[in-house]
Amino acid sequence: MPERTPYLAANWKMHKTVAEAEEFVDALLPKIGATGNDVVICPPFLALGEVVSRTRGSAVRVAAQNMHEAESGAFTGEVSAAMLLDLGADAVILGHSERRQYFGETDESLARKVPVALAAGLEPILCIGESEEARDAGQTEGVLERQLQADLAEVDPVEISRVVVAYEPIWAIGTGRTATPEQAQEAVAFARDVLRERGAEAERVRILYGGSVKPANAAELMAQPDIDGALVGGASLDPNDFAAIVEAA
């Protein structure tokens, strides 16, 4: 089975000014110096450039939290893949549940965004996950399968191993209510099966868990055979906590 390098992403959401971002990077880098893991910081757009320059030469890579699929045009408030590349971004979160829930992100637009990111050389971090109602109704697998099939519909199977998938149950995001390692493993293993059926080299795809990951629960979650890392929100705002999570992987 191919080795999958652990992948730890800090999703800052709408937190941190440029000065606060600099402070974070300066505090984080000495703590994770020797890590062999993939470490990715996802700052708000305005701090992207500064985080790129401040992490240059380190193990840390940088991702945006969203992107528009068009090359350019009359899309007020949006940014393109080329703009992110120009700033030095390596990756981009696509389809975060907050984008889906509050900003009308659809599977149709994600089906366009994922191939655009890949073609530009940006690593997509594609988020999927079920609501509490869907879980309670026994529809978790149906939701995950539908999202993966729809969002990756235009991606060639051989390209799917370049996508990082993040399984984030909506009921666990920012709630302090983490999925149990068994629940997370089950969903992530299912997602891997869907990718395999789609013709992808599923053993090579990194699939992360996200939703109230903390230093105290990170090791147990990431010890699960199919969980290859974490997309961390709240706990990624503190360099000590995020470094501890990187260490736990």
Residues that bind ligand PGA (CB under 6 A): 11, 168, 173-174, 210-213, 231-235
Question: Which of 115, 233 has the CB closer to ligand PGA?
Answer: 233
- Distance CA(116)–CA(95), nearest Å, equals 14
**The one catalytic residue among 98, 105, 130, 168:** 168
Could you say which DSSP state residue 170 is in? Answer: G
In the chain the first and final C-alpha atoms are separated, in Å, by 19
Name the residue with the smallest CB distance to ligand PGA.
Answer: 233
Question: Which of 196, 214 has the CB closer to ligand PGA?
Answer: 214
Nearest by Cα to 49 from 24, 73, 22: 22
- Distance CA(196)–CA(109), nearest Å, equals 23
Question: Which of 174, 199 has the CB closer to ligand PGA?
Answer: 174
Rounded least distance, CB 235 to ligand PGA, Å: 6
Rounded least distance, CB 2 to ligand PGA, Å: 26
Question: Which of 115, 129 has the CB closer to ligand PGA?
Answer: 129
**The one catalytic residue among 50, 69, 96, 123:** 96
- Distance CA(9)–CA(92), nearest Å, equals 11
Among this protein's residues, is 96 annotated catalytic?
Answer: yes
> How many secondary structure helices (H) and strands (E) does the chain include?
10, 8
Token pair 């999958």: residue = 4
Rounded least distance, CB 174 to ligand PGA, Å: 4
- Distance CA(63)–CA(123), nearest Å, equals 8
Among this protein's residues, is 68 annotated catalytic?
Answer: no
Rounded least distance, CB 177 to ligand PGA, Å: 9
Positions marked catalytic: 96, 168
